[in-house]
Amino acid sequence: MLVVGVRLRGLGLETVIASAALSLEAAAAHSLSVGMDAIILSDSIEGEARDVGQVHAAIAREIALRDRPFTKPILLLSGGETTVTFGSAPYGRGGRNSTFLLSFALGIQGFHSIHALAADTDGIDGSQANAGAFADGASVMRMRAAGIDAKKKLLGHDSWAAFEAIGDLLTTGPTGTNVNDFRAVMLR
């Protein structure tokens, strides 16, 4: 949450000028303005990025296959801060958003009506210069064509290399704000 504070007679008066909720609400309003319904799942989702990616993929598949719990077209929005837990094995490059998205991409293989992005609102996902990445139902196939084993990259904490190989990294540069992660999943 980005807060501007003012001292008034010894009392702290603060005004919120940006937050995860506000960023998601703005995205939802824009989506509605262009004719697509939007649902904010939550602005405070936490947990292992890989697991959260799998859950989002399961929800997207359910909508794609059965139009439940929401009907297409729809934009699913979520925020919060996931984590990536490293073991003792060597690991590559990437942050929690590209890890989330690689897990998500593995879960939506072949679903060409699903498109997603995941990014850190400060413009830096992990240790690399990208904010996050884009994915769709053909991402894993494109990775395979580029000689990338998406599952191995996910297990090796090298999601950056997987998305870099197919040109789907999102690079914004530092934004000067940080209102947690931003995830958008569009189903047509």
Q: How far is Cα 121 from Cα 124, in angstroms, rounded to an integer?
A: 8
Question: What is the predicted pLDDT for the residue at 88?
Answer: 66
pLDDT at 78: 95
Tell me: pLDDT of 1 over 90.
no
**Residue-level pLDDT at 31:** 92
Q: Is residue 7 part of a domain?
A: no
Give CA angle at 33 (29, 36), nearest 5°.
90
Domain of 108, CATH number, reads: 3.40.1480.10
Residues present in the chain in total: 188
Residue 88 lies in a domain: yes
**pLDDT at site 67:** 97
Q: pLDDT, tens digit, for every residue of 82-134?
A: 877 877 666 667 778 999 999 999 999 999 999 999 988 777 777 778 889 99
Q: pLDDT by residue (tens digit) across 139-152?
A: 999 999 999 999 99
Scanning the chain, the segments in alpha helix (DSSP H) are: 20-33, 49-66, 96-107, 139-145, 150-155, 159-165
Query: Would 15 be classed as within a structural domain?
Result: no
If one compares 96 and 19, the residue with the highest pLDDT of the two is: 96
Q: What is the DSSP letter of 115?
A: E
- Rounded to whole angstroms, how far apart are CA atoms 10 and 56? 45
- In percent, the amount of the chain with pLDDT more than 70 equals 87
Residue 14 domain-assigned? no
Residue with the bigger pLDDT between 175 and 148: it is 148
* Domain membership flag for residue 11: no
- Compute the distance between CA of residue 149 and CA of residue 100 in angstroms, rounded to an integer: 16
Question: Alpha-carbon distance 114 to 98, whole Å?
Answer: 17
Q: What is the tally of structural domains in the chain?
A: 1
2 is a domain residue: no
Average pLDDT score, the chain:
86
Q: Which domain holds residue 162?
A: 20-187
Q: Are 158 and 99 in contact (CB under 8 A)?
A: no
10 pLDDT above the threshold of 70: no
Residue 4, in any domain of the structure: no
Pair of tokens at residue 72: 């297409």
Answer yes or no: is pLDDT of 11 > 60.
no
- What is this structure's pTM? 0.87
Residue 177 lies in a domain: yes
Res 180: pLDDT: 82
How many Cβ atoms from other residues are within 10 Å of residue 111's Cβ? 18
